[in-house]
Amino acid sequence: MKTLRRQMLCYLLLCFAVTTYAEETISINTDNTSLIYKVDKDKKLRQVYFGSFLDAKEAEATQVTKAEAYPTFGTSYVNEAALRAVHGDGNTSTELYFEGVEQNKLSDDITQTIITLKDGYFPFTVKLCFKSYAQNDVIEQWSEISHTEKKPVTLYNYASSHLFFNEPSYHLTQFCGEWAMEMNMVETQLSRGVKNLESKLGVRSNQHSHPCFYLSLDGKAQEKAGRVVGGTLAWPGSYRLSFEVDHRENLHIISGINPYASQYILNPKEVFRTPALLYSYSSKGTGDISRRFHRWAKKYGIYRGDKTRTTLLNNWEATYFNFNEEVLSGIIKDAADMGFELFLLDDGWFANKYPRDNDKAGLGDWDCNKKKLPHGLGYLVNESKKKGIKFGIWLEPEMVNPKSELYEKHPDWVIGQPNRPLDLSRNQLILDLSNPKVQDFVFGVIDKTLSENPGIAYIKWDCNRFVTNSGSYFLSPEKQSHLWIGYVRGLFSVLDRVRAKYKDVSMMCCSGGGGRIDYGTLPYFDEFWISDNTDALDRIFIQWGTTQFFPSMALASHVSVVPNHITGRIVPLKFRFDVAMSAKLGMDLQPKDMTPEDKEFSKNAIKDYYSIRSIVQFGDLYRLLSPYENKRTAMMYVTEDQNDAVLFTYLLKKSINGNTQPLILEGLDSDKNYRVTELNKETKGYSWFTPLDGKVFSGDYLMKYGLRFTMYNEYDSKVIRITAE
C-alpha cells in the first residue's frame, strides 16, 4: 500500500496545473495494472495514471492532469509530437478532441478499448486502440488514422503510443549490439532532452539496436524488486522509441515506425494502422516483466506456442556450399543416430545456370541443383523418413543475387536507385515486397518448394541484409517514402498466405542472426535464430538479453564446432551443451568429426535434454545471478505446478580459490520437498556437486539457504534437475 500511495501522490502532485473536472474516466485494466485516461472540461484526453491496479472507485478519484494522451504538432504543444500531419489545404496543425470510447470483452482474458479522437476543424480521426490481457498483465496499443478530407493528407509522424511519467528519476535499459553481438543490455539514467532508440534498416528492426526497453522508476533496474515498465514494438522494419525528459522532468515515451524519410500520403477513407507497442508495468522488478511476456507470447505472440519445439542437426558447419546426396545422406544418418528429430539442409542446394556454390550467385533461382542433388529434395525427404526423422530446408526468398536468372528477367524487382551503382551486401540485393508481383513470387517460392516436396516439415527463413539505396521501381515518384511501410506490409501479406496454406510446417525466423526478432514477425514463426555467433560464452550474454522479452522455447541454441568459427574460442563440449540446453537445443557440430567419447557424451546430453525439455520450453524463467554482475551466472525454469525445475549455472571466469556464490532458488513451493540431481555429467573427473547429488531439501530451504557448491575452472558448468517428491 505504501508504494501505491507514493505512486498516486506523484501523479496528483504533477509539476504543472491540475484541474478538478472530468467528463469521463476510461480505465484500461489487467489483473494487476491500470492505465487511466480522463476527458477534461475542454474535451481533451489526458493520461492520469499508469501503475498498480485501481478499482473503479479509486480510478474515479484520480485527478485530471495536462498530460496529453496523443500529443499533436502545430498548436501549443512544443515537445516531440505523436502525430504530425499536413492536411489537404496545407494546414500543418492538428488538434484532437475526445469523441467517444468503446470497450468490448473479446474473451475471458482480453478486453479491447477504442478511444476515438477527432480534429476540431478537419474531418480527421485518430483511434487509440488497446487490447489488455488480464491474466498476463500486458497491454497492446496501436493507433488508427483516417480522414475524409477532399485531398490526401501527408503523415510525417504517426506514433503507435505516447506514455507519460512524472518521477524523480528514470533509468533506461536498452538492448543493442551488432552482428554476432546481439541483445547486449546497457542501462543509463535519462537526463533532460531526447534519447532515441531506433533502426533505419528497413527490412529488419534489430541488429544495431533492438525495439525493446526497460524503464525503471526506482533507481537502477532490479531483477526481483522495484517499479519497472517493459516494452517492445511489434514491427520488423525501421522503428523509433523516443524518450524525452522535458523541462519539468516529465518523461514522454513515443513509440512506432521510424518516421525518418517515411512520410506517408494518406488518401481519403484509407485507414493507416500503426504497429503495436506491447508493454507491462510491475512493482516486482524486471524478472516479473519477463515472465509476463513469456506467458503472453506462448499464448498470443509466437506461432503454436503450446507445441513442443523439435531438436535438429544442421549441415552448415560441416559442408557450407560443398555437398552432394551421399554426403547429406550420411549426415541424415548421423542426425538420427544421435537422437535428433530433424535434419536441416542449409544454403547451397539450388540454382543451375548460376549454381549456388558460394554466396555470389544463384539467389532467386529456387530450382534444385541437379549436379549436387540429381534426385531432388524428395530424395532427401525420403532418406530422412527412412531414418525416422523429419526434413527441413533453408530459404531466403526475399533476396536475389545479380548473378541469377531472376535478376536477368526482373532487374526492376529489386530495391535500388536509378542512375546509381548497385550497392551489394553479401553479394545480394533485396526484392521489393511493396510490389504485388514480387509478393506473388516470394509466396510462390515457398509454395512450390513445399507442394513439390510434401514431406518438408521445417523452413529456415533467412534475410541476410538490410536496405541501402532505398528506392522502389514499383512505387510512384511521390510515394517513394512509402517503401519502408509497404515492404513490411508486403512481407506480412506473404506470411499470411503461407500460414493459411501450410499450418503444420514449422518455420524458423533468421535474419543475419537476430535481425528480425519482434512480435510483429513471430506470430508466423515457431522459433527464431538470435545470432550467428554460437560461441557458448558469448551466447550466455546474448540469450540473457533475448529472454528478457522473448521465451526460450523459441530460441534456437546450437552446439557448434571448436575453435568457434566466429570467436576462435575453444570451449569444452559439456559447457557448449549446457548452454544450448537452456533454450531450444540444436547442433551444427557434426558427429563424423567427434571422438567416440564425445559422441557418446553428446548422445547422453540429448537424452538428458529430452528429460527436461518441457520444463525449459514451458516453465517460468527465474534469473538468479547475472553474467553482467558476477563471475558466475545462474538461471532456472520452474513448471506451473511447481513440481519440476531445472537449474543452469556457468562459471565465466576462473577462480583460484573457487567460486562459492550460493544459488538462492526461486519459484518453488516452500511446503514441498525436492530432490536435486545433476544431469549431463562428465564421464571423467570429480563433480563438486556430488555431496548434494540425490539429496532432498525443502522448497523453503532452497529459497532461503539455496544450493552451495564450489566451481573452480573457467567453463565449469552444471545442469541440476529439481523434482518434487
Instruction: Compute the distance between CA of residue 712 and CA of residue 660 in angstroms, rounded to an integer.
Output: 9
The angle that helices 483-501 and 436-452 make with each other, rounded to 10 degrees, is 30
Q: How far is CA 461 from the centre of its chain?
A: 16
DSSP state of 254: E
DSSP state of 136: T
Instruction: Compute the distance between CA of residue 233 and CA of residue 217 in angstroms, rounded to an integer.
Output: 20
How many Cβ atoms from other residues are within 10 Å of residue 555's Cβ? 25
On the question of a cis peptide bond just before residue 563, with omega within 30 degrees of 0, the verdict is: yes
Q: Which long-range contacts (CB under 8 A, 24 or more apart) does 43-47 make?
A: 43/97, 43/98, 44/68, 44/96, 44/97, 44/98, 45/69, 45/70, 45/96, 45/98, 45/115, 45/117, 45/128, 47/162, 47/163, 47/164
Q: Alpha-carbon torsion 390, 396, 401, 406, what sign? A: positive
Query: Environment class of residue 379 by beta-carbon count within 10 Å: exposed (0-12), middle (13-18) or buried (19+)?
Result: middle
For the chain, counts of helices (H) and of strands (E): 13, 36
Strands lying side by side in the sheet with 239-245: 161-166, 250-257, 239-245, 193-198
Which letter, b or e, does each residue of 158-174 get, where b requires 16 or more Cβ atoms within 10 Å of its Cβ? Answer: bbbbbbbbbbeebbbbb
* C-alpha cell read off for 567: 570467436
Which letter, b or e, does each residue of 509-524 get, where b requires 16 or more Cβ atoms within 10 Å of its Cβ? Answer: bbbbbbbbbbbbbbbb
> Catalytic site residues?
462, 532
Instruction: Compute the distance between CA of residue 636 and CA of residue 722 in angstroms, rounded to an integer.
Output: 10
